[in-house]
Each structure stands twice: as structure tokens, then as C-alpha cells.
Chains A and B, each alone.
Chain A
Amino acid sequence: MDFNFTEEQSMVRDTVASFLQDKYDFETRRKIVGSDSGWRADYWQAFAEELGILGASFSEELGGLGGGAIDNMIIMEEFGKALVIEPYLGTVVIGGGLMKHSGHASAASVIEGIVAGTTTIAFAYAEPQGRYTWSDLKTTAKKDGSGWILNGHKAVVVGAPFASHLIVTARTGGGQREASGVSVFLVDKTLPGVVTRDYPTVDGGRASEVYFENVSIPADALIGNEGGGLPLVEKVIDEATAASLAEGVGVLRKLHEGTLDYAKQRKQFGRAIADFQVLQHRMVDMFIELEQSVSMTYMATIKLDESDAERAKAVSAAKVRIGRALKFVGQNAIQIHGGMGMTDELAIGHYFKRGTIIEGLFGSVDHHLRRYEGLSFGAAA
């Protein structure tokens, strides 16, 4: 049993942290969020070349640095602290993860593009009617010669405006909500018939509604088995959930730290509001939520390689605990900032907003609680 980071992992953390400290301060981020493109493509190149972190979680055979999920956890936590917009989750964790697990013939070349920073990916999995049921798909892919014709509408595809490619779940068989008949495709976003409506999200990011209108895609766009893609999707969404929870931990750290600092310097009734025991105990409870969230992120990340059921149970448990932490810590951070917490000017509110979105990403707390129950009680209940 070991909870230490290796030297390489610590180096990854230091590299990312010092880059973000220099180049991703809150004012810079505000400019990025307000810019036309909504992200910094040059930073992305810097992640690839200068920092080399886009390959941190891939094996050396795939052109990476030989790390894994722990590296994703570390990077995402640091990204959470700086509220980084750039699409690491979609590109590396989800896109790279899917390619890695699928054993696809061109996995290595796609990952090469990811590591080099030339391929960016967004995950088009959700649909307007489907909520958090990943198999609930109206999007279809119909055989057409050796390739496929894609039709459908994908909801709130986070990071799609920055993406060169989309990973799309679509039905190649079965009924609308059936587990079988789900297939996964890697789709070049510039193909004719891919129509996007781009918009900003409440947390400073960008997303798109994506419509596929008779998009013709080649045979090798299929990743994994035809009709048998759901287990792969579930695995990758679990990995992405764990990574987003690590980002959540970074957010929690900033919410907690920012609140402590504020309470120590804000004076009312002739003394720092940090002197009031009700606020002290509230901040202690925030600290406890934070510490438990760190623990749960470790647990979920370490268990990603266990059996499907163990992995899913661990991730859902972590999601429940950390989802609640994000709500509790976020709301109280705003509360303890008083009126200042309501302003757009302070960073604290932006952490609250990002935390709120992470809370609902890949399924709400209730969704994961129900999933956990299904796995934990099995036939007993």
C-alpha cells in the first residue's frame, strides 16, 4: 500500500503548476474566456511541446511518457486550481483513453496527433432526450458500402469549438435505450454535414450542439466493436469522471483557501470575521469535505484498472462524495464572502461556477448514488 507520488509524477505536477502560475493567472483567464476563440491554441502547443504533458499518461509504445491515470489526476487537479479551459479532458483523457483501450489499428497514429497537440477531441455522447443514460441514442450510423452514414443531434458537446475531431456514440442496431447496438466513431469535424452551433457555458468554457446530417464516414472511423461499444464508453466515462473529480479537488482547494484568506482579512464588528466560531466551524467542515475529496479521488483513480464493477462502484462513490463537497464548499465560500462573493470581479465565484458544472458532469450525484446502489446491492436488493 502506497500513497506516494513517483519522482516523475511530482515533476509533472511542478511543471504544470509553474507554467500556470506564470501564464494562467485569473486576469489572463478572463481574457481567454472573453476572446473570440475562447481558448489559447498557443498554450495547447506549449502543453505539447514546452511542457510535454499531453503524452504524460500514455505508454512509451504509444509515444507517451509511460504514465497513466495518476498523471491525468495530477494534471487535472492543477488545471482545476487555475480554471484551465483548454480541452485536456476531451482530448487526452477521453479521446486518448478510447483509442488506447480500443486496440484500433490507427490508435497509435491518433495518439501521436494528440501528444503532438495537433489533434484535439470533443466527446459527443449526450443527447437531448438521454440525460445520463449513455445508451439512450437517437443518433444512428447506417452501413453505406464499406463506410457509414451518420445522422443525429448531440447535446452540449463540451470543447467542440476547439476540437479537430469528435468522438461520437451512435446506434448501429437495437432499440433506442438498449445496451447492445451502441458503436463509437472518431469523426473529423470538417466533414461535410457536420453542423455545429457554438456557445459559451456558464463556467467560462465553450460547447456546441452538434448535428450530423448524412455525414459519410469511412469504415475505419469505427472504434471498438460494432454494436458492442457500451462497455468501452462506460469505462472511458468512468476514467473521465475520475479525472474531472481531480479537477474538482483543485477547485475545492482554491475555494477553501480563498475563503480562509478572505475571512482572515475581512473585518466586521471590529474584528476579522474569521474570529467568529460559527464561521470557523463552517470552514473546518469545508476543510473536511476537501480532505475527503482528495481521498476519494485517490481511491477512484487507483481503482480504474480493477474489474468493471469495482471500477464503476469506486467512481460513483467518489462522485457522490465529491459532488456533495463541491456544492457544500462552493455555496459556503460564497456565503462567507458576503456581498463580495456575489460579484463577477472576484475569482471565488468563478471557482464556484466551475465546481457546479463539475458536480453535474457525467451524471448528477443522484445518478451516481443510484448507480452505486445497483452495483453494491446487486441481487440482494
Chain B
Amino acid sequence: MNLDFSPEDLAFRDEVRAFIAQNYPEGLRERQEEGEEMSKEDFLSWHRTLANKGWVAPAWPEKYGGPGWTSVQRYIWSEETARADCVPILPFGINMVGPVIYTFGTPEQKERFLPPTLSGEIWWSQGYSEPGAGSDLASLKTKAERFTGDDSKEYYLVNGQKTWTTLAQHGDWIFCLVRTDPAAKIQEGISFLLIDMKSPGVTVRPIITLGGEHEVNEVWLENVKVPVENRIFDENKGWTCAKFLLAHERSGIAGVARSKRGIERIRQIAQAELSDDGDALIKDPMFKRKIAELEIDLAALEYTELRTLAGEAAGKGPGPESSVLKIKGTEIQQRITELALEAAGHYGAPYFRGFPKDGDNAHPIGPDFAHRAAPTYFNVRKTSIYGGSNEIQRNIIAKMVLGL
């Protein structure tokens, strides 16, 4: 038992650091550090840089374009990208539908979809949730009925509504769970479909969230014609893909490296801000204590994740224990945003979204971080809701781990 990186791992870390230093634009770094909203191009530019280098999909097998890294190297990668405030790679293509396609897809589907997923040419959206199907995902109602087109090819006619679809306003394709057999038991009548969002009948409508962001959408599907060859895996076996994908979604969700960086930021902020006593906020015993407790809880999470990684390396696979990482990881992310807002004091209140755009930049109002503190705090409440809410994670542990 030891914590040492091998010389190869250390060399890899240096290589990663050098690459990021040379290729990640400072302007983007600053905006990511401040928690600004990212544009489509912001996300894509970094995605493309990594795709060109062959590093965009650390967990993919080499034959599909992964870099062939060990789990320790992937861990180093996530540490280093977080340290450098890199824009995250969106999970929908790389962590979700990509692995579903290379695990369950046909050779034609792999060839058609994997390269543009890697390159960033396809922006994927995740069409799972519906107004009536959130935690109880299997109760989804969007239906897909088979028919033969005028061209005598087989199609599905898709009707229904998806919701909470993250960044679907930029989406090129959406992977959807749809009901193909209304008569079957609920999990057994679901199929996994890839839908081109330019198809007639697809409408995307914004939902504005607490921080004022346009981050999620409703996606309406009205008589959308989808070729049968866009179905992944067998008809009515979509739940298998969904379950597989949820397991992938949970791994990495601990966000340890990002939270470390978040605490570092809080420390910097607390050096600069003043407490009631006129001293640096970081000398305030109450504030300091909260930082210390966060650090300790993060260490507990980090070592729990490392144990899970070690288990994975030994072939145990990300089990339901990864629900622990999701619960604790999101709680810590949320506490970090609380501390930032607390540190902002009065300047947590001003809200500049939609306010005269190029306002008086020469005289910024309040400290730089402060205007994003409250919106970020509000926004990050989402983390304990999505990806399987923290209550659902507890249900999973109760059932799968504790046998209750």
C-alpha cells in the first residue's frame, strides 16, 4: 500500500502540464475560473484541441480513438485539467452515448457516429427525462411507432416531449429513450434511438434556471421520422443501454480535482476579503473552520475514490459504491459555492445578467468573483438532483450494497 506515482506517471504528468500550458488559452481559463457561462465555441475549441491530440476521450478503448491510458493516468489527467481550470469536456458524447455505441452498436453505427463524436462535429444531447418521468425514468411516454416509408425503408414515428435537456440549443443529435412496446412491462418496451435534431418536428424551447442561465431545454418531438438503423441495440432492449450509461455517468462524478481547485479559490478569495474584525476573512475562526471541514471531507472523498479506482484497476468495475462518490462529491461542490457566496458579502446581491451589456467596464462593481457567486450557488443545487438524485443514490446503495 503506497501513494507514490511511478516515474512513468510523473513523466506523464509533466507532459500533460506542458501541453495544457501551451494549448489552453488564458482568456478561456480566466472565464472558467470566474464561473462564467461558456459559449458553444468555448466548449468546442478546447474539445477540438484535445481531439487533435487524441486525448479527448480518456476512457475509450484505443481501437475507437482512446489514448490507452491507465486508470492512474486518467486520474492524473483529471487532476491536471482541473488545476488548470480547463473547460470541461461535455459528457453527453464522450462519456455517455460514445460508450453505448461502441458497446452495443453495429459496425456501421460505430463507423458513422464515433469519429464525429470524438472530433466534436456532433454535439450530442441527452433525451432521457420527461415531464412525467424523472427519477422514475422507466415510466417515460415518448413513443416510437414503426412504419414503412414511401421509400419502402423502415422508420419510427416519434411523438412526445423530453425535458431538462442540457444545452440542446446547440445540439446536432439527441439520444433518446423511447417506448416501442406500450404493452410490455415498463422496462421492457423501451428502445434507444439516435435522432438528428435537424429532422422536421423537433422543437427546442429554453428553460431558464435559477442563476438566470439558459442551460436546459424542452425538446418536443412531433411526428419525427427516424430511420430504424438509428436504433442502438435491439428493439425493446434500450433499458440495457440506459442502465449501462447511468453507471458510466456516475464514475468521475465525484469531481474531486475540481473541488480541490474550488477550495483553493475560496482560500484566495478569503485572503482578499475582509471579516467583521477587519482582518482577512481567512483569519475568521468560523470561516476558517468551514474551509478546514471542507478540506477534510474532500480528503475522505478523494481516498474513497482512489480506493474505487484501485478496485476498478483490479477489474472490479464501477459498482453501486460509486453512488457514495456521487452523494459526497455533489455535497462538497455545493458547500464550496455556499462559501463563495458567503465570502462575497454585500456584493453577492448585484445581478448583471441582461444588464446593459458593455456597461461601465472601467469601474467594475465589487470583487471579480462576487457577481457569479450567487448565480453559481443557485445553479449548483442541480448536482444533487440530476444524474440520479442523491435520494435515488441512497436507494441504490440500500438495495444493491446493503441488501435492504
Q: Chain A residues in contact with chain B, CB under 8 A?
A: 1-5, 70, 260, 263-264, 274-275, 277, 280-281, 283-285, 287-288, 291-296, 298-299, 301-303, 317, 320-321, 369, 372-373, 376-377, 380-381
Q: Which residues of chain B come closer than 8 Å to A372, judged between CB atoms? A: 292, 295-296
Q: What is the CA–CA distance of A371 and B272 in the complex, to the nearest angstrom?
A: 24
Q: A4-B1, A283-B402, A373-B288 are in contact. Are A292 and B295 (CB under 8 A)?
A: no
Which candidate, B61-69, B138-146, B303-311, B364-372, is the interface stretch facing chain A? B303-311
Which of B9, B310, B401, B404 has the most CB atoms of chain A within a 10 A radius of its CB? B404
Given contacts A2-B1, A320-B296, 14 further A-B contacts (CB under 8 A): A1-B2, A1-B3, A1-B310, A287-B401, A287-B402, A292-B324, A295-B300, A296-B300, A303-B3, A321-B297, A372-B295, A373-B292, A377-B292, A381-B282
A-B CB proximity, top 5 nearest: A295-B303, A292-B300, A3-B310, A280-B398, A295-B304
Q: Which of B1, B296, B321 contacts A302 (CB 8 A)?
A: B1
Q: Which residues of chain A come closer than 8 Å to B403, judged between CB atoms? A: 260, 264
Q: A291-B321, A298-B303 are in contact. Are A284 and B402 (CB under 8 A)?
A: yes
Residue of A nearest to B4 (CB): A1
Q: Is the CB of B282 within 8 A of A292?
A: no
Q: Give chain B's interface secondary structure class.
A: helix
CB of B289 within 8 Å of the partner chain: yes
Q: What is the CA–CA distance of A380 and B288 in the complex, to the nearest angstrom?
A: 11
Which of A1, A293, A373 has the most CB atoms of chain B within a 10 A radius of its CB? A1
* Size of the chain B interface, CB-CB below 8 angstroms: 42
CB of B210 within 8 Å of the partner chain: no
Q: Is the CB of B296 within 8 A of A381?
A: no
Cross-chain pair count, CB within 8 angstroms: 116
Nearest chain A CB to B398's CB is how many angstroms away? 4
Q: Is the CB of A376 within 8 A of B300?
A: no
CB of B280 within 8 Å of the partner chain: yes
Q: Is the CB of B299 within 8 A of A299?
A: yes
Q: Which residues of chain B come closer than 8 Å to A280, judged between CB atoms? A: 394-395, 398, 402, 404
Q: Is the CB of A2 within 8 A of B303?
A: no
CB of B202 within 8 Å of the partner chain: no
Q: Is the CB of B404 within 8 A of A380?
A: no
Q: Is the CB of A380 within 8 A of B303?
A: no
Q: A287-B397, A321-B297 are in contact. Are A377 and B282 (CB under 8 A)?
A: yes
Residue of B nearest to A301 (CB): B1
Q: Is the CB of B295 within 8 A of A317?
A: yes
Q: Is the CB of B402 within 8 A of A288?
A: no
B303-336 vs A, CB cutoff 8 Å, 1 = contact: the mask equals 1101100100010000001001001100000000
Q: Is the CB of A380 within 8 A of B271?
A: yes
Q: Is the CB of A294 within 8 A of B1?
A: no
Q: Which of A288, A303, A317 contacts B296 (CB 8 A)?
A: A317
Q: Is the CB of B398 within 8 A of A288?
A: no
CB of B276 within 8 Å of the partner chain: no
Residue of A nearest to B282 (CB): A381
Q: Which residues of chain A come closer than 8 Å to B302, judged between CB atoms? A: 295
Residue of B nearest to A325 (CB): B300
Q: What is the CA–CA distance of A45 and B49 in the complex, to the nearest angstrom?
A: 66
Q: Which of A277, A283, A295, A373 contacts B307 (CB 8 A)?
A: A295
Q: Which residues of chain B come closer than 8 Å to A4, judged between CB atoms? A: 1, 310, 314
Q: Which residues of chain A come closer than 8 Å to B295, judged between CB atoms? A: 317, 372, 376
- 23 A-B residue pairs with CB within 8 Å: A2-B2, A2-B310, A3-B1, A70-B1, A260-B403, A260-B404, A264-B404, A277-B395, A283-B402, A287-B324, A288-B327, A291-B304, A292-B304, A293-B300, A294-B304, A295-B304, A296-B300, A296-B303, A302-B1, A320-B296, A321-B297, A369-B289, A372-B295
Q: A320-B296, A381-B280 are in contact. Are A281 and B394 (CB under 8 A)?
A: yes
Q: What is the CA–CA distance of A298 and B300 in the complex, to the nearest angstrom?
A: 10
Q: Which of B293, B299, B391 contacts A296 (CB 8 A)?
A: B299
Q: What is the CA–CA distance of A287 and B327 in the complex, to the nearest angstrom?
A: 12
Q: Which residues of chain B come closer than 8 Å to A293, judged between CB atoms? A: 300
Q: Is the CB of B299 within 8 A of A317?
A: yes
Q: What is the CA–CA distance of A291 and B254 in the complex, to the nearest angstrom?
A: 15
CB of B12 within 8 Å of the partner chain: no
CB of B177 within 8 Å of the partner chain: no
Q: What is the CA–CA distance of A369 and B289 in the complex, to the nearest angstrom?
A: 8
Q: Is the CB of A292 within 8 A of B404?
A: no
Q: Which residues of chain B come closer than 8 Å to A283, judged between CB atoms? A: 398, 402, 404
Q: Is the CB of B394 within 8 A of A3?
A: no
B113-144 vs A, CB cutoff 8 Å, 1 = contact: the mask equals 00000000000000000000000000000000
Q: What is the CA–CA distance of A320 and B300 in the complex, to the nearest angstrom?
A: 10
Q: Which of B1, B314, B324 contacts A288 (CB 8 A)?
A: B324
Q: What is the CA–CA distance of A292 and B302 in the complex, to the nearest angstrom?
A: 9
Q: What is the CA–CA distance of A36 and B283 in the complex, to the nearest angstrom?
A: 53
Q: A4-B310, A381-B283 are in contact. Are A299 and B289 (CB under 8 A)?
A: no
Nearest chain A CB to B71's CB is how many angstroms away? 9
CB of B386 within 8 Å of the partner chain: no
Nearest chain A CB to B169's CB is how many angstroms away? 36
Q: Which residues of chain B come closer than 8 Å to A317, judged between CB atoms? A: 295-296, 299-300
Q: Which residues of chain B come closer than 8 Å to A70, judged between CB atoms? A: 1
Q: What is the CA–CA distance of A260 and B286 in the complex, to the nearest angstrom?
A: 37
Which of B283, B306, B394 has the most CB atoms of chain A within a 10 A radius of its CB? B394
Q: Which residues of chain B come closer than 8 Å to A320, judged between CB atoms? A: 293, 296
Q: A283-B402, A317-B296, A376-B295 are in contact. Are A291 and B3 (CB under 8 A)?
A: no
Q: What is the CA–CA distance of A310 and B368 in the complex, to the nearest angstrom?
A: 33
Q: Is the CB of A321 within 8 A of B296?
A: yes
Residue of B nearest to A377 (CB): B288
